[in-house]
Amino acid sequence: MMMMKATHLDRLLRAAMLPVAAAAMAMPAQAQGAATSSPAMSGERSAKAATATASAQKYRGMRTSQVIGKEVRNPEGRNIGQIRDMVVNMNDGQVRYTVLEFDPGIFEGERLFAVPTNLLRLGADDQLVYNMTRDKLEQVAVPRTDWNRAWNDPGYMARVDKAWGVVQPSGQAGAYRVSDLLGMDVNSRAGEEIGEIEDLVINMAARKVHYAVLEFDPSWVSPERNFAFPLSAFHLNADRDELVLDVDKSKVQAMKSFDDSRYSNLNDRRWLIDVDRYLVTVLPANDRQRSAAQPSGDRQGATADADLFGRLDHDGNGSLEKAEVKESADVFRDWNRIDANKDGRISRDELASGHTAQSSRRGGTS
């Protein structure tokens, strides 16, 4: 795995450092499930329980620049450490790991620990709660001073994945630190520097990057304007230290943008509907090629389904529940077929593939 810009991480670490408790915390109070489960409880079972909890939560958008440095509590409400970084999969946007540093007295030495993000629960007031698995943490611990060296070791993430029982993602882009992505230069397909990544907005309920916020160079658009792009719209350059965005200046100038005031309310339902509708129109080059190869009727059907999804997703959490789709007789009638993975919800992809195919056979959409 290639080494990224360590200086940016160092700046984030210095900025995020918070005063820590001088007194050591009692280790038994921090142990995983000390009162309710055996020490042998597997991280996999905890991950499944946390995933079920997260899926039940509503959409909760947060800026990664604000998550880094955020305190983490144990289930009893005691602060136990801080978030120092996050690891995302560039190919699917999953926030694969959250990198924690615990307060003195919990573990020996100043070390960082990569923890599967689905083991963290979003509690009241956007506090992050973690029920520690000490045995797993010891297996993935890295001295803070060695973090960059460990990250540069091709086998490091493989060892972390093995310790937590995480299946490595498919695709070539792999895992990247948020600290490397924030501020990373973005180039045009011609190699011209066109802007940089200002932030990543993640849906903490789904543990996934919802969209990247791109600040374009002033020669492209007004510097006060921000643009939302799906993470899949970006490609890595040959050296894997810059991102490439295949977009024309004229198209950017016609795109919907937003200013920094939007950050104060990322969870507004109307904004979520608008941004989701906008994001599905910003496709990576290979998706645009596939779309161009489709008959125009199919493209119109895909657009109609995107609008339909936005209308039906009343809570703006990115998936449809059966009670939400009663407005559409077709979707409600075909629920069991469209819900391809039988998880009791319909994703945007499931609606696009299942509903569009059925509508084509019937000669229309809802």
Per-residue confidence (pLDDT) for residue 169, from 0 to 100: 60
What is the per-residue pLDDT for 202?
Answer: 95
Alpha-carbon radius of gyration of the chain = 22
Amino acid at residue number 129: V
In the block, tokens 């795995």 appear at 1
Better pLDDT: 4 or 185: 185
CATH number for the domain whose boundaries are 294-362 = 1.10.238.10
Confidence of residue 172 (pLDDT cuts 50, 70, 90): low
What is the structure's pLDDT at 61? 93
User: What is the per-residue pLDDT for 170?
Assistant: 59
How is the chain split into domains, by residue range?
A: 6-177, 178-262, 294-362
Q: pLDDT at position 123, please?
A: 85
pLDDT single digits (tens) 129-143: 999 888 889 999 999
Q: What's the pLDDT at 235?
A: 86
pLDDT over 50 at 48, yes or no: no
Whole-number pLDDT of residue 193: 92
pLDDT at residue 325, as a whole number: 83
Range from 55-59, 135-139, 165-169 carrying the lowest mean pLDDT = 55-59
Among 263-272, 299-308, 327-336, which is the least confidently predicted range?
299-308
Overall pTM surpassing 0.75 (yes/no): no
Instruction: State which of 178-192, 275-289, 346-360 shows the largest mean pLDDT.
Output: 178-192
Res 92 pLDDT > 80: yes
Q: How far apart are CA 309 and CA 220, in angstroms?
A: 32
Cβ neighbour number for residue 201 with a 10 Å cutoff: 20
> Hey, how many other C-beta atoms are within 10 angstroms of the C-beta on 327?
12
Average pLDDT over the chain reads 76
CA 50, CA 17: separation in Å to the nearest integer? Answer: 27
Q: What is the pLDDT of residue 332?
A: 87
SS3 label, residue 357:
helix
- Out of 68-72, 90-94, 233-237, 283-287, the most confident range is 68-72
pLDDT value at position 171?
A: 54
Segment among 156-165, 217-226, 261-270, 303-312 with least mean pLDDT: 303-312
Task: Please determine whether the domains at 178-262 and 294-362 fall in the same fold group of CATH.
Answer: no
C-beta of residue 105 within 8 angstroms of C-beta of residue 118: no
Distance from C-alpha of 272 to C-alpha of 270, rounded to nearest angstrom: 5
pLDDT-derived band at 12, boundaries 50, 70, 90: very low
pLDDT-derived band of residue 83, with 50, 70 and 90 as boundaries?
very high
> If pLDDT is split at 50, 70 and 90, which confidence band does 125 have?
confident
| CA–CA separation, 140 and 182 (whole Å) | 24
* Secondary-structure breakdown of the chain: helix, strand, coil percentages, each rounded to the nearest 5: 40, 25, 35
Class of the domain covering 6-177: mainly beta
pLDDT of residue 307: 57
pLDDT, tens only, 286-325: 444 444 444 433 333 444 455 577 778 777 677 888 888 8
Contacts of 336 (CB under 8 A, 6+ apart): none
> What does the alpha-carbon distance between residue 297 and residue 294 come to, in Å, rounded to a whole number?
8
DSSP symbols for 67-135 = HTT-EEE-TTS-EEEEEEEEEEETTT-BEEEEEEEEPBTTBSSSEEEEEEGGGEEE-GGG-EEE---HH
* CATH fold of 178-262: SH3 type barrels. (2.30.30)
